[in-house]
Every structure is written in structure tokens, then in C-alpha cells.
Amino acid sequence: EVETPLLEVAGVDAFYGRSQALFDVSFSIGPREVVAILGRNGAGKTTTLRTIMGFNVPGQGSVRFDGRLISGQKPHRIARQGIGYVPETRDAFSLLTVEENIMLGYRAGSPYTLERFLGWFPELQGLTRRRGAQLSGGQQQMMVIGRGLAPAPRLLLLDEPSQGLAPVVVKSVARVLTELRDEAISIILVEQNLAFALQIADRVIVMENGTVVDILTAEEGRRAPARIERYLAIH
Ligand code: ATP
């Protein structure tokens, strides 16, 4: 690609104490691109997102956002430069209400208002005063997507957004992510759901044992799903 990547992960090693979780991970993502990271439990998908966000500092390698080095910076500084994170743990702010959760990081002028959000997920319309802890798992998932988007990031990282959602809500999430991409937001989503990933991603990164084992277009993945399936859990 000729276009400058929005995010560039280059030769990243990451550790938990002495235990190495990522080995020489490299990939890049362009503007308006949706990339899915697939792989079994423990493959290193979450650690990859955490390293981009600054919760893990690479032992080797670098992460660049918009050409600037971000690895080594604190998560809040990385967030301020335009990266949103929707972690897998949904109840982090369980004592705050739905409205408070979503407005937490709202930046003046952000198009991702509470109203917009409630239009996407009408199920939450009557629940804005409820605390996060009082929501179902699916409702919490919708809420944390709103929270990640409120500051209007240019890159959104999502950890298993389809997990535990009813099929109809998975469809809404897919629609929202496609809409975001059309609004020039790049997305990296970690997934176990291959069909969901292939439906919305432009490209797929396959991980195993802390390394990137394959990078392919979603089109290639749809034509030859076995190329990805062999790296996923047996269902
Ligand atoms: P999952 O879907 O289960 O989250 P994953 O692909 O996201 O899997 P990671 O969570 O990134 O994988 O885990 C990568 C490796 O790092 C695994 O071997 C895991 O045991 C280890 N690991 C993850 N978190 C920690 C931690 N907090 N402390 C120590 N080791 C960890």
C-alpha cells in the first residue's frame, strides 16, 4: 500500500513478568480499515490491544500512530491522541449509570452523542439511569461500545464485541461498526466469531502462541475459511 499506515506495530515483544506473551508481532492498519485479529484463547490477541493502548510496554519493537511513536507512553496520553479502547471486561464502571458511562470521555464536538448511541441500541433507551452492574451482559457490551466512542477516536480497538450477544444484537453491532468505518474510523477487533469477523473486516490477522501466523484479506478468508479455522478452537 502506498498510503501511510494509521497504526504500525513493528517487531513487538511483550511480557507479563518473565513470561513472554508476544513474539515479534508486526502489522499495520490503514485509514478507514477494519482489521480482525483471530486466534484461540491465549494466542495473544488481548495483549496486542493492551500493548497498543499502553497498558503493556513492549520489551522490543515499537508502535506508531499516525507516524508518531506511542509505545512507552501512558494509556491516557495514547487515548488522547485518538485511540479508543473497548476492553473485554464490561463492568469496569458498574457503579456509574449508563449515561455516566457513555459521557465519561465525551469530548465537545464529538458526533458520538448519547442520542446517537441510543438510536443504535434502542434497547438502552429506558435504561440510561441504571447502573452498569444492573444491565445484562449484552446491554453492558452496548454501553462500553458507546463509552469507547464518546471521545471520537480515529482508531477504535474492540475486544470480542460479539461475545455473549444475542444474534439480533450482533447484527446491530456489525451495522454500527460498518457505519463507523464509513465515517473514517479505523477499527481493530479481536474476535472468536469467524463469521462476524469476515462479515465486517477488510483484513484478518491470525495469531497463535503469541505470534502472527497469517495476514489475509477477508475476501481470501471467505473463499478459504480453512486457512483461518485451523488456528481457531475446535467448535
Ligand atoms: P483470550 O481470548 O483468552 O483473552 P488472547 O488471545 O487474548 O486470549 P492473551 O490474553 O493476550 O490471549 O494472552 C496471551 C498470553 O499471555 C497467554 O499465555 C496468557 O496466559 C498470558 N497472560 C495474559 N494476561 C496475563 C496476565 N495478566 N499475567 C500473566 N500472563 C498473562
Q: Whose grid coordinates read 454500527?
A: 176
Q: What pLDDT is attached to residue 95? A: 84
Q: Is the CB of 188 under 6 A from ligand 1?
A: no
DSSP H stretches of helix in the chain? 45-53, 75-80, 98-103, 114-120, 137-149, 167-182, 194-200, 218-223, 226-229
The ligand 1 atom at the shortest distance from the C-alpha of residue 47 is: 11
Q: Is the CB of 73 under 6 A from ligand 1?
A: no
| Rounded CA separation 117/104 (Å) | 14
Please report the ipTM that was assigned to this predicted complex.
Answer: 0.94
> Atom 26, ligand 1: which residue's CA is nearest?
16
Q: Which residues fall within 8 angstroms of residue 19, CB to CB, at 6 or more apart?
A: none
> Atom 11, ligand 1: which residue's CA is nearest?
44
> Atom 14, ligand 1: which residue's CA is nearest?
44
Given a contact cutoff of 8 angstroms between Cβ atoms, the answer to whether 20 and 46 are in contact is: no
Q: Is the CB of 43 under 6 A from ligand 1?
A: yes
| Rounded CA separation 218/57 (Å) | 30
Q: Is the CB of 58 under 6 A from ligand 1?
A: no
For residue 184, give the C-alpha cell: 473514517
> Atom 9, ligand 1: which residue's CA is nearest?
44
Q: What pLDDT is attached to residue 166? A: 87
Q: What pLDDT is attached to residue 234? A: 60
> What residue type is assigned to position 123 of the chain?
E
Tell me the three state secondary structure of residue 124: helix
The ligand 1 atom at the shortest distance from the C-alpha of residue 17 is: 29
Question: Along the 235 residues of the chain, how does pLDDT read in single tens digits?
Answer: 557 899 999 999 999 999 999 999 999 999 999 999 999 999 999 999 999 999 999 999 999 999 999 999 999 999 999 999 999 876 567 888 999 988 888 888 889 999 999 999 999 999 999 998 888 888 888 899 998 998 899 999 999 998 888 888 899 999 999 999 999 999 999 998 999 999 999 999 999 999 999 999 999 999 999 999 999 976 4
Given a contact cutoff of 8 angstroms between Cβ atoms, the answer to whether 96 and 128 are in contact is: no
* Closest residue by Cα to residue 51 from 208, 202, 157, 193: 157
Query: What is the CA(125)–ligand 1 centre distance, in A?
Result: 35
Q: Is the CB of 89 under 6 A from ligand 1?
A: no
Mutate which of 13, 37, 46, 157 to test ligand 1's pocket (most atoms within 8 Å of Cβ)? 46
Given a contact cutoff of 8 angstroms between Cβ atoms, the answer to whether 46 and 90 are in contact is: no
Q: What pLDDT is attached to residue 225? A: 92
| Rounded CA separation 47/55 (Å) | 9
Q: Is the CB of 39 under 6 A from ligand 1?
A: yes
Tell me the three state secondary structure of residue 69: strand
Tell me the three state secondary structure of residue 27: strand
Query: What is the CA(134)–ligand 1 centre distance, in A?
Result: 28
Q: What pLDDT is attached to residue 61? A: 98
Q: What pLDDT is attached to residue 91? A: 58
Q: What pLDDT is attached to residue 93? A: 73
